[in-house]
Amino acid sequence: MAGFSAEERDAMKERAEELRAARGLKGAAKAAKEFEDCIAAIDKLEGVDSEAATLLHRVVSEEAPGLAPKTWYGFPTYAKEGKTIVYYQPSSKFKTRYGHIAFADAAALDDGDMWPISFAVVAVTDAVEQRLRELVRRAAG
């Protein structure tokens, strides 16, 4: 895995472990395991990362309850029919100056010829929550 940072290699190992852990699980058992993994990923976070991931989890639960919690490369993630819609990448994961909430290509955010899919989070405020609620509702379709 030459050319990858230690953090990137760790993320790839986490993804491989996620896939191994899900092997053989189906239906409610798989959903329960993925939910537990998502909550565990959030619980590991601190500071603004913890606040932002907790906010995302609450907003998804309230605005798009049809999205399934899971992890993806260790990130708290929410999916529809197995496809990632939105996730939180904590700053602590790759030692960046801010975490971000990002939307995958399955998210229904299309808006003309260009639109944002990733949002830096440096503080959790009422305005951030309101914007996130709007985005999650749209993204979930």
State the fold for domain 6-140. Aspartate Aminotransferase, domain 1 (3.90.1150)
- 56 Cβ contact partners less than 8 Å away, ≥ 6 residues apart: 76, 78, 86, 88, 101, 132, 136
Q: What is the mean pLDDT of residues 31-59?
A: 98
CA distance 63 to 77: 15
Give CA–CA dist 33/14, Å, rounded.
15
Question: How far apart, in whole angstroms, are the C-alpha atoms of residue 70 and residue 53?
Answer: 13
Predicted confidence at residue 141, as pLDDT, reads 92
pLDDT one-digit tens code per residue, 90-105:
999 999 999 999 999 9
| Stronger pLDDT, 4 or 113, i.e. the higher one | 113
State yes or no: pLDDT of 1 exceeds 70: no
What are the sequence ranges of the domains in the chain? 6-140
What integer is the mean pLDDT of 28-48?
96
Q: Check pLDDT > 90 for residue 23.
A: no
Average pLDDT over residues 59-69: 99
Mean pLDDT confidence for 76-99: 97
- What residue has token string 């605005």? 63
Report the helix count and the strand count for the chain, using DSSP H and E: 5, 5
**Reported confidence tier of residue 72, pLDDT bands at 50, 70, 90:** very high
CA 75 from chain center: how many Å? 5
